[in-house]
Structure 1
């Protein structure tokens, strides 16, 4: 297995971090991973270790404001930044991997990014894997939703806790401990991220009937 790291220009020229894993033999297909809220591309070693020996090449990016990519932690100005960053990443991977079949995977917030991307840019995707995607009306208490919308207008960059329940990310205590001890993981978010994610989650579900690529949807039976 060969591991490489690098940066690529995002939607507005910001240099975003990515890493890639190549099998020893020529890859039969390519998987791009979009990580979830608070985490980064390095948290998918289980996927890498399972698929690279099966001759899948894997590419994963750190979204702006996450991992080794620049930007205020957990902040975007608008949802299109995530979607267009991913578009440029996909284009870069396609140039590197020529005619190999390309699949896209996203988890949680990354699942929403992946599904939303595929609704806008389905061409070239052989399939999409969405793991517990954040789509539909998010479970945000009404007072908090109202406050987020207000702050998104007057103080969009206010850094607050994302409210992610770490104990709910896995039944495996080792996974939880690794998450808690990971220096690249953070719990930051902003009012603008909250309102943009909520809008994107609802838009993505509303457009589900337009979805074109084959889709594998995964969801834990105890996920809340």
Structure 2
């Protein structure tokens, strides 16, 4: 198999430290509200047929970051389909400042996923379909399980963004405060700390994402090769939208609305999202459960080999062995 890239279509960054897995098809699709998103699809390798993993990323992420993980899924007999959310990666940006993360409302991400399911998964990918989501993509995945129990057979999420620790107000209170600022015309301004810096070799020490420097530097190399893939701080309007979604995920009735078999993984050393909130949600699920990965930081798919081994052992027990 060879890499297929439409000369007039989107490209994937292919560098020595992060080569493109062979056999990819890359393209654009349009959502139901006419936002153009970049996607990629890899068929399975070998003779084992397990279905398709639909992989959805966290805030600031892009397809290239998951090349190693995509290869891991394919080695298990899965095809893999993935895309960049609106406002990031190789998809359409929504405001003039490309360096900021923006979305009008969090339900727009659900629109992205529904459109991908209808335009790419159903016509082009072998069933059954399994949804795998990380961080922000994990929260969208939880809403997918609450909105439609037939789209995906099972849902597997790592470090889902269901709440943030160390905030001055509750998730609902933060959403209201940010919404007021957006109403006053400040929605496209950046939110975050002045000390926040783009990823580089210098920022690896004490970073909150991963203990694995080689995998950390892959992301640095990708954005260095194509700076247009990167985004930095979120906007105030993104904060308002995300906090409102997290507040909804924290409601008492939310666990009962999820009607798809679900496994959530929390990272014991997570400094980005609240592991305690993930555990609290996991204990109340009717069709799912949770597990905590000891020693892991937030980005478990790009953590060290020992932690990744635990993540894929959980994935295999929950999905691979069930689909065989």
Scaled by the length of structure 1, what TM-score is found? 0.89
Query: 1:221 — aligned with what?
Result: 268
- Residues 57-113 of structure 1: per-residue CA shift (max 9 Å, x gap): 111110011000012341111111110111010122112125x11011111111111
Could you tell me how far 1:161 is from its partner in structure 2? 5.0
Unaligned regions of 5+ residues in structure 2, if any?
1-21, 200-206, 272-324
Q: Distance in 2 between matches of 1:137 and 1:202?
A: 10
Query: 2:122 — aligned with what?
Result: 94
Query: 1:69 — aligned with what?
Result: 91
Q: Distance in 2 between matches of 1:56 and 1:119?
A: 25
Q: Distance in 1 between matches of 2:268 and 2:24?
A: 33
Contact 2:55 2:81 in 1 (8 A): yes
What is the aligned counterpart of 2:185 among 155, 165, 168?
Answer: 155
Distance 1:195 1:56, change over 3 A: same
Could you tell me how far 1:138 is from its partner in structure 2? 5.5
- Mapped pair 1:81 → 2:116: no
Q: Distance in 1 between matches of 2:192 and 2:71?
A: 30
Query: 1:103 — aligned with what?
Result: 130
Could you tell me how far 1:222 is from its partner in structure 2? 0.7
Q: Distance in 2 between matches of 1:179 and 1:58?
A: 20
Q: Detail structure 1 runs of 4+ shifted over 4 Å in the superposition.
A: 161-166
Distance 1:135 1:126, change over 3 A: same
Distance 1:201 1:147, change over 3 A: closer
Q: Distance in 2 between matches of 1:40 and 1:155?
A: 29
Contact 1:105 1:129 in 2 (8 A): yes
What is the aligned counterpart of 2:220 among 177, 180, 183?
Answer: 180
Q: How many residues align?
A: 223
Could you tell me how far 1:36 is from its partner in structure 2? 0.4
- Mapped pair 1:16 → 2:37: yes
Q: Distance in 2 between matches of 1:80 and 1:110?
A: 12
Distance 1:112 1:139, change over 3 A: farther
DSSP 3-state at the match of 1:188? coil
Contact 1:5 1:18 in 2 (8 A): yes
Query: 1:46 — aligned with what?
Result: 68
Unaligned regions of 5+ residues in structure 1, if any?
none
Question: Which structure: larger Rg?
Answer: 2
DSSP 3-state at the match of 1:82? helix
Q: Distance in 2 between matches of 1:139 and 1:40?
A: 27
- The alignment's C-alpha RMSD in Å is 2.4
DSSP 3-state at the match of 1:155? helix
Q: Distance in 1 between matches of 2:250 and 2:166?
A: 15
Contact 2:110 2:144 in 1 (8 A): yes
Contact 1:67 1:185 in 2 (8 A): yes
Greater alpha carbon shift after TM alignment, 148-157 vs 183-192 = 148-157
Larger proportion of strand: 1
Greater alpha carbon shift after TM alignment, 130-139 vs 188-197 = 130-139
Contact 2:65 2:218 in 1 (8 A): no
Q: Distance in 2 between matches of 1:37 and 1:131?
A: 13
